[in-house]
């Protein structure tokens, strides 16, 4: 006996079947939604959400802090620590996190 599995793709909005149906996701008020739509239905979704997407902000990841300060709330300014470390002959990367031991040495000297 041979079994055959057939997958039928169905548009969630129009209930039509087709091979050109794709899954699309979006979120609203913290709830994510998933829809299987054919290209025409997907265009309807884009047309409906378009004005909101155009003026909205992308969200995700860590919240952004306003302002241009690179100073951490719980420690000294990394730029000043790097400058001090270089003046003391301590090697420090120009970018990325300043090693904890370098920060401790800086704090001990200030």
- Total domain count for the chain? 2
In-domain check, residue 62: no
Tell me: do 88 and 43 sit in the same domain.
no
Domain that holds residue 102: 78-108
Q: Where does the chain show beta strands of DSSP type E?
A: 22-28, 31-37
In-domain check, residue 70: no
In-domain check, residue 72: no
55 vs 71 pLDDT, higher one: 55
Find all residues with CB under 8 Å of 109, minimum gap 6, and list them. 84
Tell me: do 53 and 102 sit in the same domain.
no
Q: Please tell me the pTM assigned to this model.
A: 0.50
Taken in order 86, 79, 104, 109, is the CA torsion positive or negative?
positive
Is the predicted pLDDT of residue 20 greater than 80, yes or no?
Answer: yes
In-domain check, residue 1: yes
pLDDT band for position 66 (cuts 50, 70, 90): low
Best CA proximity match to 98, nearest among 84, 59, 87: 84
How many CB atoms are closer than 10 A to CB 11? 20
CATH code of residue 26: 3.30.60.230
């Amino acid at each position: 006996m041979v079994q055959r599995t057939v997958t039928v793709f169905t548009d969630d909005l129009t209930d039509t079947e087709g091979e050109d149906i794709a899954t699309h996701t979006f979120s609203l008020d913290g709830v994510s939604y998933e829809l299987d739509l054919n290209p025409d239905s997907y265009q309807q979704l884009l047309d409906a959400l378009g004005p909101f997407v155009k003026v909205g902000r992308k969200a995700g990841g860590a919240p952004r802090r306003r302002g241009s300060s690179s100073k951490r709330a719980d420690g000294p300014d990394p730029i000043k620590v790097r400058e001090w470390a270089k003046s003391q002959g301590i090697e420090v990367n120009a970018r990325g996190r300043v090693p904890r031991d370098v920060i401790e040495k800086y704090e001990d000297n200030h």
